[in-house]
Every structure is written in structure tokens, then in C-alpha cells.
């Protein structure tokens, strides 16, 4: 078996930037899977020309050249605010705010809550990998009880730091059920994730507010090998319930 | 727009000659998530395994066992960098 120039290109979605080459993410990062699935969902609904993609600070900013759609990179936690500014100025646009758990549930929580209360026309994708990956794996709001990170070397102590934040439940409690779609999905089932993104994008296309929290993986900072990574994701799915919380009728 | 060239290798005729299995060495980062997710490996066989070829970061890429692979496409679906393509052979 020898390496040669192949005639057939890889099976990339049309909304993905082919010229960027391999993504900037670490080996085994869940962001690649989430973005690939999101791009396939955009392709399927033919929303590429209308979409605006905003990425946050943190690992999620490495998606700045991943998509072949209009992209803006914003301040930490302000992706929600920038993207609903874009969709208010241009009501035709489909705004996609892409952030990690730090950008959504720590520094950007205020924008997330208020966007959900007002029901802005946008899709928020919150990728939850239970730590701050880019800075070296510190504790984040969603770190599981007892999980070892750089800043919790003896495991997260819930009596000091509180319990992990559950973003989808919080948004489901305040979102308007007549025009919202709130769900939690996981990268362990990418077909399900794709149908979740399709429903969310369809809801945004009809003028609603969508929030999708995706349970993701971080093999480098979890210090897990390929088998343990999937096992760890399984324990995350037991803690964070994977389901649709709010679904507008007719989706 | 220039057409891009992709380096890689092909395992021909997997799943009783029905599919060709493409691996792109400039995209594979050697994370091994596909190996852990392979349904044949889950049964205790050694279908998808490390290759002697190297990927983007000079870590081993993957290759299937042509006699065991069923061409289900789970590895291609789960690959974060789209480094695997399973193409049905024209009959």
C-alpha cells in the first residue's frame, strides 16, 4: 500500500471551506464532528447563501476558516449579541452563534439568557466539553462532580463550586414555547445530531429561536485514549440528559 | 479556483469487493476515534486498525481489513476531519 495523489476528493459538505485543508483542532476534537454535521445540515436545507456564522473565543474560534459561509469572530461571550445584531439589521439572514461552554454559560450567560427571553431569530450552538480546552483544561461551569482538571486537582468539590450548570434546562425554562426549539444532543450519535440541527435551522428559517447544546469530547485535556474518550462521553450523557426540551409545533 | 490535490491511499474491494476505502493522509490526525467506534471491532475482531502509513502529524493512519470490513460507514461518519471516504464501486 503506497501513498499517492487520489483522484477522488474527500466527502466534504459544500458549506465547508475546502481550501483550508485540515482543521486547526486537536486530534480527536469534537468540534470537527459538530461543525461537519452542522455544514451537512445547512447543505441539506440549502441555507448556505443566507447564513451568517459567528464564532467565540476559546477552542471554538479555530472554526474561523472552517465554514465557506460569511463568518465573524467576536469578543469572548459576545457572539450571541453580535449575531442577533446581524439578524436584526438583515432579517433575511440565518444567524448561527457557535460557542463553547465558557462563552455560553460563564462570560456570555447574560446575553444567552436575554436572547432566549426575547426569542431572537438565531441558532445558538453551545459545545459542551466540560472544561476550558484552549487554556489547558481548567474547570468550567459544566465540569462534572469529581472531575479532575488543572484547577481542581482533587476533583470538583460541589460544596465549594456548586453543581454543574445545565444550559439546555435553563434555556427551556425561559424560552417562549410557541417559537423556540431547545434540545441537547451528543456527538456519540451524529445522525441524531444532524436531524436536531435540521429542526433547529428550520425553526430559525421560520423566524424562531433555537438553542442546541452538544455534548462533545476533549481527549487532550481529559487525558483519555480513544476508547476511554467514548466511555467518558457516556458518563456525561448520564449526567446531562440528551433530549428535546422545547419543540414548537410543526417542526 | 484550482482543483485541490489530496494525498492518500486506497484499500480496494472491501466488503466482498463492493466498496473502495479511501484514507486521506493530509487530513488524518491519528485520533483513533474510528477504531473505537467500529462495530466489527466491538465484536472483538480486528477490522479497522493502525496502518504503516502516517497521517498529518506523523502519527499512524488507519486501514481496514478487507475481509472483515462491511462498509457500514461508521468510521467515515465519525471522523472529525473527513479523512475517510467509502465509495461504492461501479458495477
CA distance B74 to A39: 18
| Interchain CB distance below 8 Å, B80 and A30 | yes
What is the pTM for the complete model shown? Answer: 0.94
pLDDT at A213 over 60: yes
Contacts of B29 in chain A (CB under 8 A): 22, 26-28
Interface with chain B: mutation pick from A8, A16, A22, A229, highest number of B CBs within 10 Å: A22
A173-186 pLDDT, tens per residue? 999 989 999 999 99
pLDDT at B2 over 70: no
CA distance A66 to A73: 12
Largest interatomic CA distance in chain B: 46
Contacts of A192 in chain B (CB under 8 A): none
If one counts every other C-beta atom within 10 angstroms of the C-beta of residue A164, the result is: 22
Task: Kindly state the average pLDDT of the residues A107-115.
Answer: 94
Task: Kindly state the average pLDDT of the residues A12-39.
Answer: 92
CA distance A26 to A221: 10
Contacts of A29 in chain B (CB under 8 A): 80
Instruction: Show Cβ contacts of residue B62 under 8 Å, excluding neighbours closer than 6 positions.
Output: B23, B28, B32, B34, B35, B48, B49, B50, B51, B75, B84
Task: Kindly state the average pLDDT of the residues A222-228.
Answer: 93
State whether residue B13 sits within 8 Å of chain A by CB.
no
Task: Kindly state the average pLDDT of the residues B28-46.
Answer: 92
DSSP string of A142-204? TPPTT---SS-TT---HHHH-SPP-HHHHHHHHS-TTTEEEEEEETT-HHHHHHHHHHHHHHH
Residue spans of the domains in chain B: they are: 9-88
Q: Are A112 and A105 in contact (CB under 8 A)?
A: yes
| Interchain CB distance below 8 Å, B7 and A6 | yes
- The average confidence (pLDDT) of chain A is 93
pLDDT at A6 over 90: no
CATH architecture of A46-128+166-215+235-247: 3-Layer(aba) Sandwich (3.40)
Provide ipTM, 2 decimals. 0.92
Residue spans of the domains in chain A: they are: 46-128+166-215+235-247
State whether residue B78 sits within 8 Å of chain A by CB.
yes
pLDDT at A98 over 80: yes
Task: Give CATH for domain B9-88.
Answer: 3.30.70.20
* Buried/exposed code over A29-49 (b: 16+ C-beta within 10 A; e: otherwise): bbbbbbbbbbbbbbeebebbe
pLDDT at A165 over 60: yes
The nearest CA of chain B is from the CA of A4 a distance in Å of: 5
Per cent of chain A over pLDDT 90 is 91
| Interchain CB distance below 8 Å, A6 and B22 | yes
State whether residue A72 sits within 8 Å of chain B by CB.
no
Contacts of B79 in chain A (CB under 8 A): 32
Angle at A37 between CA B67 and CA A6, to 5 degrees: 50
Task: Kindly state the average pLDDT of the residues A57-63.
Answer: 92
Per cent of chain B over pLDDT 90 is 77
With cut-offs at 50, 70 and 90, classify the pLDDT of residue B90. Answer: confident
- Cα A185 to chain center, whole Å? 10
Task: Kindly state the average pLDDT of the residues A192-199.
Answer: 95
| Interchain CB distance below 8 Å, A190 and B77 | yes
With cut-offs at 50, 70 and 90, classify the pLDDT of residue A171. Answer: very high
CA distance A203 to A212: 12
pLDDT at A212 over 70: yes
Task: Kindly state the average pLDDT of the residues A95-122.
Answer: 93
Task: Kindly state the average pLDDT of the residues A130-145.
Answer: 93
Contacts of A16 in chain B (CB under 8 A): 82
The nearest CA of chain B is from the CA of A94 a distance in Å of: 25
Amino acid at each position: 500500500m503506497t501513498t499517492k495523489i487520489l483522484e477522488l476528493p474527500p466527502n466534504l459538505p459544500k458549506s465547508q471551506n475546502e481550501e483550508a485543508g485540515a482543521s486547526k483542532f486537536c486530534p480527536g476534537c469534537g468540534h470537527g464532528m459538530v461543525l461537519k454535521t452542522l455544514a451537512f445540515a445547512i447543505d441539506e436545507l440549502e441555507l448556505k447563501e443566507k447564513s451568517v456564522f459567528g464564532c467565540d473565543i476559546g477552542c471554538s474560534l479555530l472554526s474561523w476558516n472552517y465554514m465557506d459561509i460569511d463568518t465573524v469572530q467576536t469578543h469572548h461571550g459576545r457572539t450571541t449579541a453580535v449575531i442577533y445584531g446581524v439578524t436584526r439589521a438583515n432579517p433575511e439572514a440565518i444567524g448561527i452563534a457557535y460557542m463553547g461552554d465558557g462563552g455560553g454559560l460563564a462570560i456570555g450567560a447574560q446575553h444567552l439568557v436575554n436572547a432566549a427571553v426575547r426569542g431572537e431569530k438565531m441558532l445558538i450552538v453551545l459545545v459542551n466539553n466540560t472544561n476550558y480546552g484552549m487554556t489547558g483544561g481548567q474547570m468550567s461551569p459544566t465540569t462534572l462532580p469529581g472531575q479532575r482538571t488543572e484547577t481542581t486537582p482533587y476533583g470538583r468539590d460541589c460544596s465549594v463550586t456548586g453543581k454543574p450548570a445545565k444550559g439546555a434546562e435553563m434555556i427551556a425554562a425561559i424560552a417562549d414555547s410557541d417559537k423556540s426549539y431547545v434540545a441537547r444532543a451528543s456527538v456519540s450519535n451524529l445522525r441524531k445530531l444532524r436531524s436536531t440541527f435540521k429542526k433547529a435551522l428550520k425553526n430559525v428559517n421560520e423566524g424562531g429561536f433555537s438553542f442546541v447544546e452538544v455534548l462533545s469530547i476533549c481527549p487532550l485535556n481529559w487525558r483519555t485514549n480513544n476508547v476511554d474518550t467514548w466511555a467518558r462521553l457516556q458518563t456525561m450523557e448520564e449526567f446531562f440528559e440528551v433530549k428535546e426540551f422545547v419543540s414548537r409545533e410543526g417542526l | 479556483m484550482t482543483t485541490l490535490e489530496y494525498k492518500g491511499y486506497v484499500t480496494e474491494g472491501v466488503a466482498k469487493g463492493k466498496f473502495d476505502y479511501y484514507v486521506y493522509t493530509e487530513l488524518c490526525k491519528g485520533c483513533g476515534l474510528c477504531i473505537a467506534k467500529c462495530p466489527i471491532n466491538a465484536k472483538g475482531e480486528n477490522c479497522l486498525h493502525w496502518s504503516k502509513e502516517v497521517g498529518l502529524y506523523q502519527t499512524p493512519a488507519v486501514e481496514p481489513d478487507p475481509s472483515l470490513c462491511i462498509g457500514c460507514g461508521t468510521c467515515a461518519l465519525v471522523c472529525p476531519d473527513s479523512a475517510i471516504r467509502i465509495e461504492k464501486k461501479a458495477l
